[in-house]
């Protein structure tokens, strides 16, 4: 009996390499994304679509691709084949979802730049046929909303045609549904949609829902679920991914105020002009003296804020110790993620990949 079973048992798969190959993983994501967009342009619903695909192709070109990488790491953590084709296509779908979120976020924030180039609504406004600047701006906003919606629909299409087993897709579905809802709710909080006297609490909730979860924790869980990972592994994805996602967004908040515009690809005035209630600014307010609070009241949220006014705000942020406090929070969250990684029983490739992404997410300059 044992002999017959051994005869029909598939030979063991070759052991995965100990070192993660992020280069190859990203090449596969880029190829999947390119092939999908090419297909949309080849067989469009209407001839107006291919030029929009070209605009979108340029928009997605310079992304950091962290979400596909974390999805890849979740896949590896569950024992998935490093060269597994479905996970690359799923990662590309996450990148389209990310594009939807960015395009709509720039519309709501009125941002002029994204990744060093005009934001999508400004690019599309430049395509308006006519001399009415207000009509062109209105067209750009409306067209960007539609293109963002299209990215959301295409993300689902990519996922459903990724070649993932139906059982694995059903296992990942609750995570996907949660991620989408969390991003919308987090954006609502980021807009100040809930009145509260505890601005710091709202800032933390917005950070966790809008960015931290869908950047790290949820992509990890999606990759793990698609490779057959069970509840224990999904809980580990939270233990490692949630603090790391928070550290990622806290770094983003610092870069949005203190970064180099040429490096981060957007203005360092936008968050201050908008009066964005980040954890950084909420901590600044809590620590500020009466005179410093007066500077914040006058300048934070001023749509005409200039470089001199921004320098005064940055001085208040630094003088209150809020800048250093956020830096310490980033380091603490990174240590928490690494401790969860150290305690986990993961394949060597996944362990090294996750360790490398802690560095990428928390030490980045853009």
Asked, for residue 6, whether it belongs to a domain, the answer is no
Mean pLDDT to the nearest integer, 6-27:
60
Sign, Cα dihedral of 270, 275, 276, 282 = positive
Q: Give me the helices (H) in 259-347, please.
A: 261-264, 270-274, 279-287, 290-299, 307-319, 322-343
Reported residue count of the chain is 366
In the prediction, which pLDDT does 5 show? 34
Asked, for residue 1, whether it belongs to a domain, the answer is no
For 228-244, how does the pLDDT look when each residue is reduced to its tens digit (9 = 90+)?
999 999 999 999 999 99
Q: Would you place residue 3 in the very low, low, confident or very high pLDDT band (cuts 50, 70, 90)? A: very low
* Interatomic CA distance for residues 353 and 20, integer angstroms: 5
Low-confidence winner among 171-175, 263-267, 296-300 (lowest mean pLDDT): 263-267
The range of the structural domain enclosing residue 55 comes to: 19-361
In the prediction, which pLDDT does 353 show? 94
Q: What is the pTM of this model?
A: 0.89
- Closest to 346 in 3D by CA, of 247, 243, 233, 253: 233
Asked, for residue 94, whether it belongs to a domain, the answer is yes
* Interatomic CA distance for residues 311 and 304, integer angstroms: 14
Asked, for residue 13, whether it belongs to a domain, the answer is no
* Interatomic CA distance for residues 208 and 224, integer angstroms: 20
* Interatomic CA distance for residues 56 and 96, integer angstroms: 10
Is 7 a residue whose pLDDT tops 50? no
* Interatomic CA distance for residues 134 and 138, integer angstroms: 6
Asked, for residue 232, whether it belongs to a domain, the answer is yes
Is 11 a residue whose pLDDT tops 70? no
**Average per-residue pLDDT in the chain?**
91
Q: Looking at the 3D structure of the chain, how many domains does it have?
A: 1
In the prediction, which pLDDT does 18 show? 53
Asked, for residue 8, whether it belongs to a domain, the answer is no
Asked, for residue 11, whether it belongs to a domain, the answer is no
The CATH number that applies at residue 154 is: 1.10.600.10
Is 350 a residue whose pLDDT tops 50? yes
Is 121 a residue whose pLDDT tops 80? yes
**CA distances (Å), 89 to each of 28, 32, 156, 159, in order?**
8, 5, 11, 7
- Closest to 124 in 3D by CA, of 145, 150, 102: 145
Asked, for residue 4, whether it belongs to a domain, the answer is no
């Amino acid at each position: 009996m044992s002999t017959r079973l051994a005869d029909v048992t598939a030979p063991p798969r070759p052991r995965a390499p100990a070192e993660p190959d992020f280069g190859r993983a990203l090449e596969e994501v880029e190829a999947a994304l390119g092939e999908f967009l090419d297909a949309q342009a080849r067989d469009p619903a209407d001839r107006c679509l291919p030029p929009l695909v070209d605009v979108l192709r340029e928009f997605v070109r310079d992304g950091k691709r962290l979400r596909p990488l974390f999805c890849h790491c979740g896949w590896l953590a569950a024992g998935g084949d490093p060269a597994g084709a479905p996970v690359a296509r799923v990662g590309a779908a996450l990148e389209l979802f990310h594009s939807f979120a960015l395009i709509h976020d720039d519309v709501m924030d009125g941002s002029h730049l994204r990744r060093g180039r005009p934001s999508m609504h400004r690019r599309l406004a430049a395509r308006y046929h006519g001399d009415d600047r207000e009509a062109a701006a209105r067209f750009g906003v409306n067209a960007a909303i539609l293109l963002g919606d299209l990215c959301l629909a295409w993300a689902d299409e990519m996922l459903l045609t990724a070649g993932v087993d139906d059982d694995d897709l059903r296992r990942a579905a609750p995570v996907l549904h949660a991620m989408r809802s969390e991003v919308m709710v987090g954006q609502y909080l980021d807009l100040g949609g809930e009145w509260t006297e505890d601005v710091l609490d709202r800032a933390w909730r917005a950070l966790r829902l809008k960015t931290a979860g869908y950047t790290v924790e949820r992509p990890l869980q999606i990759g793990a679920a698609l490779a057959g990972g069970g509840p224990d592994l999904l809980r580990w994805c939270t233990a490692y991914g949630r603090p790391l996602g928070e550290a990622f967004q806290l770094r983003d908040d610092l870069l949005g105020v203190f970064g180099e515009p040429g490096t981060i690809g957007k203005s360092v005035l936008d968050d201050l002009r908008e009066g964005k209630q980040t954890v950084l600014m909420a901590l600044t307010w809590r620590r500020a003296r009466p005179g410093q609070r007066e500077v914040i009241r006058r300048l934070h949220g001023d749509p005409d804020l200039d470089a001199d006014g921004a320098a005064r705000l940055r001085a208040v942020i630094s003088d209150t110790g809020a800048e250093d406090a956020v830096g310490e929070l980033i380091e603490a969250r990174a240590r928490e993620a690494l401790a969860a990684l150290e305690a986990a029983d993961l394949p060597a490739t996944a362990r090294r990949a996750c360790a490398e992404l802690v560095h990428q997410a928390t030490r980045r300059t853009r």
